[in-house]
Chain A
């Protein structure tokens, strides 16, 4: 049985939204698909923004998700530069730019936005990186001869920006409040390996010390411009460019009062359903992953693609047909000439073992295990092994089985 729907609206015209639209058509939905997004740009890919696009190695048109022909073929009611401003799921009414409209099915894919440093609004030279416009601004600053960059927060996007800036000859300081950088995602030991990679490329990485104040000086045109930061230990770092990579906030504000459960994202069931005829996907979605028996929100590229597709299918299915969305999370990050990939997850108390290659050469695969369970695999420049490990994680093999499998490598 298929459900009768004539009009499906997708809010958020980015990765999850695009793949939701593509999947609806692929699965034979012939009704109206409205894709509403508040950015002016046609759907584009974010990962290059901190990497090749920032470095000037790819052009803007190469960022497009699906080429023009493909976008045309999807036959969408594409409404760019329009913002969803309200929602009422009981009456199935969405408000776009203040005007109410109805839907038969709704896909929420509004992603996330960057956290910002307090009292830096309007300060020249202070940036975050989420959108093409953000990347454009940082790229312009690089081209205009900025010499010293400070990256606040050692997260993955910040680390990629640092790597790109170092490669273009800038002096880069990275400041991380945690003692062990990257440890939230990679665990202490492997976080230090990544920290070492940055130090070996000349990044001045300060850990265990937060930023106390962003230092500014007045400009001739009347505004303020960043000149550095003072750290909580009193030291000052000068900079003419500051990039804050201190995490993101899911874009759910506009859904307040909609009747949806909003807790650090749109809360969904195991199938990505948030309310009758409403699904969510990508960075904004918090769903119950039955594989882990936990509710989670994942901020990775592959998750947005997979969940966008899954959520779209969910809308076309009855409750009986619906399948749980239970992926093993996976992401990659390119820093310098290294490809870092993590399949599964680390855990603070995990047993960490290097299974192949050498940590010192920054070319290896490490496994995370805990209490007999195989949790995750981290690779640097070992994509094949990481992907094989991802397969093992999907089969839920035990720690011993995973170790035995990897013993065959090399």
Chain B
């Protein structure tokens, strides 16, 4: 599973980071960084939650 973020849509509000801090990180430069873009299947549930809760619909998962 691959985590994709459309950085043109992302507004760095860090919601995804609260849900999955091991995968998403908004740094002090105000940009979102993906710490691990190929997480294991055990992270699927939290990632789906991140997809759902991103207000910009910027996150997607690719199998």
Q: Are A and B physically bound partners?
A: yes
Interface residues of A (CB under 8 A from B): 19, 22, 45, 47, 66, 301-302, 305-306, 309, 332, 334, 339, 341, 381, 383-384, 386-388, 390-391
Contact: A47 with B12, CB < 8 Å?
no
Chain A residues whose C-beta falls within 8 Å of the C-beta of B57 in the assembled complex:
66
Chain A residues whose C-beta falls within 8 Å of the C-beta of B26 in the assembled complex:
383-384, 387
Contact: A339 with B18, CB < 8 Å?
no
Considering the complex, give the chain A residue whose CB is closest to the CB of B28.
A384
**CB within 8 Å for A387 and B17 given contacts A47-B55, A305-B52:** yes
The answer for the CA separation of A88 and B2 in the assembled complex, in Å, is: 48
Chain A residues whose C-beta falls within 8 Å of the C-beta of B17 in the assembled complex:
384, 387
Chain A residues whose C-beta falls within 8 Å of the C-beta of B55 in the assembled complex:
45, 47, 301-302, 332
Contact: B52 with A383, CB < 8 Å?
no
Contact: B18 with A391, CB < 8 Å?
yes
The answer for the CA separation of A66 and B28 in the assembled complex, in Å, is: 30
Residues of chain B in range 3-36 having any CB-CB distance to chain A below 8 Å: 11-15, 17-18, 25-28, 30
Q: How far is the CB of A348 from chain B (nearest CB, A)?
A: 27
- A-B CB contacts (within 8 Å), total count: 42
Interface check B44, CB cutoff 8 A: no
Contact: A381 with B18, CB < 8 Å?
no
Q: List 8 contacting pairs A-B, 8 Å CB cutoff, sorted by A.
A: A302-B53, A332-B13, A334-B11, A383-B12, A383-B30, A387-B18, A388-B18, A391-B18
Contact: B52 with A387, CB < 8 Å?
no
Contact: B28 with A387, CB < 8 Å?
no
The answer for the CA separation of A22 and B11 in the assembled complex, in Å, is: 24
Chain B residues whose C-beta falls within 8 Å of the C-beta of A386 in the assembled complex:
14
Considering the complex, give the chain B residue whose CB is closest to the CB of A64.
B57
Q: Which of A306, A309, A341 makes the CB contact (< 8 A) with B13?
A: A341
Q: How far is the CB of A58 from chain B (nearest CB, A)?
A: 10
Contact: A390 with B13, CB < 8 Å?
no
Contact: A305 with B18, CB < 8 Å?
no
Residues of chain B in range 22-63 having any CB-CB distance to chain A below 8 Å: 25-28, 30, 52-53, 55, 57
The answer for the CA separation of A253 and B19 in the assembled complex, in Å, is: 37
- With a 10 A CB-CB cut-off, give which of B18, B25, B30 has the most chain A CB atoms: B18
Considering the complex, give the chain B residue whose CB is closest to the CB of A383.
B14
The answer for the CA separation of A381 and B17 in the assembled complex, in Å, is: 15
Chain B residues whose C-beta falls within 8 Å of the C-beta of A384 in the assembled complex:
14, 17, 25-28
The answer for the CA separation of A47 and B9 in the assembled complex, in Å, is: 14
Contact: B53 with A387, CB < 8 Å?
no
Chain B residues whose C-beta falls within 8 Å of the C-beta of A334 in the assembled complex:
11
Q: How far is the CB of B53 from chain A (nearest CB, A)?
A: 6
**CB within 8 Å for A390 and B11 given contacts A305-B52, A305-B53, A384-B28:** no
The answer for the CA separation of A388 and B6 in the assembled complex, in Å, is: 23
Q: How far is the CB of B41 from chain A (nearest CB, A)?
A: 18
Considering the complex, give the chain A residue whose CB is closest to the CB of B25.
A384
Chain B residues whose C-beta falls within 8 Å of the C-beta of A383 in the assembled complex:
12-14, 26, 30
Chain A residues whose C-beta falls within 8 Å of the C-beta of B28 in the assembled complex:
384
The answer for the CA separation of A19 and B53 in the assembled complex, in Å, is: 10
Chain A residues whose C-beta falls within 8 Å of the C-beta of B53 in the assembled complex:
302, 305-306
Chain A residues whose C-beta falls within 8 Å of the C-beta of B13 in the assembled complex:
332, 339, 341, 383, 387
Chain A residues whose C-beta falls within 8 Å of the C-beta of B11 in the assembled complex:
334, 339
6 tightest Cβ-Cβ pairs between the two chains A and B: A383-B14, A387-B14, A387-B18, A384-B26, A383-B13, A384-B14
Q: How far is the CB of B60 from chain A (nearest CB, A)?
A: 11
The answer for the CA separation of A305 and B49 in the assembled complex, in Å, is: 11
The answer for the CA separation of A211 and B41 in the assembled complex, in Å, is: 58
Q: How far is the CB of B63 from chain A (nearest CB, A)?
A: 16
**CB within 8 Å for A387 and B30 given contacts A302-B53, A305-B52:** no
